[in-house]
Structure 1
Amino acid sequence: MTLSHERGLESPFQLRHYLTLITVVIIAGMNQGLLLPLLTLLLDKTGVSTGVNGLNAAALYIGTFATMFWIEKPVRRFGYKPVIVGGILIVLVALILFPSFPNFWVWLVLRFMVGVGDSGLHYATQLWIVSRSPADKRGRYISLYGMAYGAGFSLGPLGINLLPYGMWAPFLATMLCTVVSLMFVSRLPNALPETVKREPGAQAVTTYPAVFRLAWYALLTSFLYGYMESSMNSNFPAYGLRIGMSDAWISLLLPVIGIGSLILQLPLGVWSDRWGRKPILMAAGLIGGAAFAAVPFASQGNLLLVLILFGLAGGLVGSFFTLGLAYAADVVPKAVLPRTNVIASVLFSIGSITGPNIGGFSMQYFSVHSMFYWLGGAYVLFALLGLWFRPKVS
């Protein structure tokens, strides 16, 4: 299999171009990190139930999931830059319309739009970085990309503190940041992705079901990460309000999960290289799940302990997506890694859609604390499934 280079790929990937994309990713993370809890809070204060609120939040991830089926074609036809610009513009329009039309059904559509815009932006930036980075620095560049998104996502909820200045205030702040990212991207040169040409006699690519059978345990991490991220950012604000937390505490606690992930991401990766990825994933799932399950007991009066539990749980399971991809790469042939990543992205989207709905309806019909029982139980179950998984290492 050979690679033919399209126009725009001959020049080396310049540092300033990379830093521009990193800046865009940080701002995109801030937008998503703010919108999920902010919209949940605003809808909750209008009397929307937690279950219906979760359905509204899931619209963003439905938009992300739907985009995956067609986004490759415009990137190949028009290049990376137009798709990134298009994604930013879609998000910017939605940000303007959110405070202009505070209506449940309008916000449902706007959240879907944000999911489409974010998905296109991330697909194009990830592919651009992977295709243009030097092979000996590609892993470092992608790791920094993930950390940049995590940092932005963790900072986003702090914008909730602008609500005392009016509903427009947090939206206006994130609008200005989005305009700045659009200005940065406008200065980038465009480029097209590489085109893969199959040599005569090349073997057929392994099917998706076969790839999943090889690495189902490693790929489950993507589902769990999406479930945790969306559930915490969509359901936790409503949970906090119901147990008497202030908006300030809610906006403080949410970033702690992302901060914990940033702190432990590199150590977990090093330990997985040294002691094996499955033992590290099992230990992280077991301890992280126990930390989530302990939150209802701590939240009765010790918010500092909740903060510690969030940092511990987020630090341990916040790297599940990247560690899971690394583990999948250990157990599948290199030729099917692209399909492995597609499956991981699909499972992430399914988890992201599932999380707010299970958490919201279980809080409404069972117990206000049930979202943490589900989270804790899911990660503990994952750890136990590791005892059964016996990979055929490629």
Structure 2
Amino acid sequence: MDRQRIINLLAAISAITVFGFTLGLMFPLLSLIMEREGIPSQVIGYSAALQPLGIVLSVFAIPPMVRRFGAKVVVLGAAVMTALVIVSYPFLPIFWWWFGLRILHGFFVSTLFAISEAWIVKFSEGPWRSRILALYASVLALSFGGGPLLISFTGIDTAAPFLIGAVILLVATIPIFFVKDEEVDSEDEAPLSVFGFIRKAPILLFAVGMFAIIDAANLGFLPVYAVKKGFDNEMAALALTAFVIGNTVLQFPIGWLADHIPKRVVMLGCGIATAVASALIPTVFGTPLLWPVLTVAGAASAGIYTVSLSELGDRFSGHELVTGTASFSTTWGGGALLGSLMAGWSIAGFGPDGLPY
């Protein structure tokens, strides 16, 4: 693997880290602040759903932006705009400014994700692809866990988590300056369209959508659930960290299984494990068993995405592979929007335990 390809991969993984960290930070942070202010769960759900809406909308804007300015410039611009959005939250009122900010937040972070994941897929070709994708999945999972962990140290009563998050975001984008900004040819526009991919991989997109529903519901509402069940804000943030940190350790075992038995079997097993672990959460809440159950639930749900991405790489290459990564991103946005709404409705209608059930 040549030096420039390694630089491009490191830069892309850095940008993916930004994506994971900012989502892992902002989903629970904003939900906890709104919960503290006495805002109903339905409204928190509507607010959380606007960030995935921004992700979906970004698909229609990314192609012309990349065509006009180049991928590297677009990624750097998206990082700066994401940082500006983040630092705006604590200085603007929740109604109605936060609703618009969350759409912008989803839009710019998704731009980082779609282009960076396309870079990872493109520059990881060859015998190192599986290991690079495993590293990518682990880094993404770890970055998600870093967000709520930061909340456990800073709390939610000051602008500190917002300012720290914005600084970390900007620092993580520095390697992108060293990416060789290749010209985008006419084929680079199509990968950012979803519709042509649906007929070829409907089950993969369904799996990604299910993961997104589970992921967004827990990112946005697991801390709220924990507070309603008696945890303080710091412990509630750690509950979310336990949920997302498990798949950092378990990505490689899940990938190993997917390399030795049919991927669809592993995907189904991850789905069953997620359902069982989620159903156990109310039973074990307040006991030491809560933490491993949350870890298993998070690892198994993320395993659905990991195995889906692995099968995508097995079945598609070149142009179609990049089309798949963009389709995954868009499907995640739609599923996350639905997951946020469903979580808010469930908690409002059935109480806190409506979330895991």
TM-score higher than 0.5: yes
Task: Indicate how the Cα distance of structure 1 residues 165 and 371 shifts in structure 2: closer, same or farther if over 3 A, else same.
Answer: closer
Q: Distance in 2 between matches of 1:53 and 1:165?
A: 16
Q: Aligned residue for 1:384?
A: none
Q: Distance in 2 between matches of 1:357 and 1:309?
A: 24
Q: Aligned residue for 1:258?
A: 244
Q: Aligned residue for 2:356?
A: 372
Tell me the amino acid that sits aligned with residue 19 of structure 1: L
Task: Indicate how the Cα distance of structure 1 residues 129 and 278 shifts in structure 2: closer, same or farther if over 3 A, else same.
Answer: closer
Q: Distance in 2 between matches of 1:28 and 1:329?
A: 21
Unaligned runs of 5+ in 2: none
User: Are 1:325 and 2:316 matched, yes or no?
Assistant: no
Q: Distance in 1 between matches of 2:167 and 2:195?
A: 44
Greater C-alpha radius of gyration: 1
Tell me the amino acid that sits aligned with residue 292 of structure 2: I
Task: Indicate how the Cα distance of structure 1 residues 71 and 256 shifts in structure 2: closer, same or farther if over 3 A, else same.
Answer: same
Tell me whether 228-237 or 252-261 shows the greater mean CA deviation. 252-261
RMSD: 2.7
After TM superposition, give the deviation of residue 212 of structure 1 in Å.
4.0
Unaligned runs of 5+ in 1: 1-10, 198-206, 374-394
After TM superposition, give the deviation of residue 305 of structure 1 in Å.
1.3
After TM superposition, give the deviation of residue 266 of structure 1 in Å.
1.6
Q: Is the 8 A contact 1:150 1:262 kept in 2?
A: yes
Q: 1:147 aligns with which of 138, 150, 164?
A: 138
Q: Aligned residue for 2:221?
A: 235
User: Are 1:309 and 2:293 matched, yes or no?
Assistant: yes
After TM superposition, give the deviation of residue 32 of structure 1 in Å.
1.4
Higher relative contact order (CA 8 A, sep 6+): 2
- Calculate percent identity across the aligned residue pairs: 25
Q: Aligned residue for 2:206?
A: 220
Q: Distance in 2 between matches of 1:184 and 1:162?
A: 27
* Larger relative helix fraction: 2
Q: 2:72 aligns with which of 69, 73, 81?
A: 81
Q: Distance in 2 between matches of 1:179 and 1:56?
A: 25
Equivalent residue runs for 1:1-394 within 5 Å: 13-164=4-155, 166-196=157-187, 212=198, 215-299=201-285, 301-302=286-287, 304-327=288-311, 336-373=320-357
Q: Distance in 2 between matches of 1:315 and 1:178?
A: 25
Task: Report Cα offsets for 1:143-183 as digits up to 9, x if no partner.
Answer: 32332222111111112134458421111111221232344
Task: Indicate how the Cα distance of structure 1 residues 163 and 330 shifts in structure 2: closer, same or farther if over 3 A, else same.
Answer: closer
- How many positions carry a matched residue from both structures? 353
Q: Distance in 1 between matches of 2:218 and 2:332?
A: 15
Tell me whether 122-131 or 109-118 shows the greater mean CA deviation. 122-131
After TM superposition, give the deviation of residue 51 of structure 1 in Å.
1.0
Task: Report Cα offsets for 1:319-346 as digits up to 9, x if no partner.
Answer: 2112123335667899855554444333
After TM superposition, give the deviation of residue 45 of structure 1 in Å.
0.8
Tell me the amino acid that sits aligned with residue 206 of structure 2: L
Task: Indicate how the Cα distance of structure 1 residues 365 and 255 shifts in structure 2: closer, same or farther if over 3 A, else same.
Answer: same
Normalising by structure 1, report the TM-score.
0.81
Tell me the amino acid that sits aligned with residue 140 of structure 1: R
Task: Report Cα offsets for 1:223-280 as digits up to 9, x if no partner.
Answer: 1111111100111121111111111211111122222112221211221221111221
Tell me whether 312-321 or 178-187 shows the greater mean CA deviation. 178-187
Q: Is the 8 A contact 2:138 2:249 kept in 1?
A: no
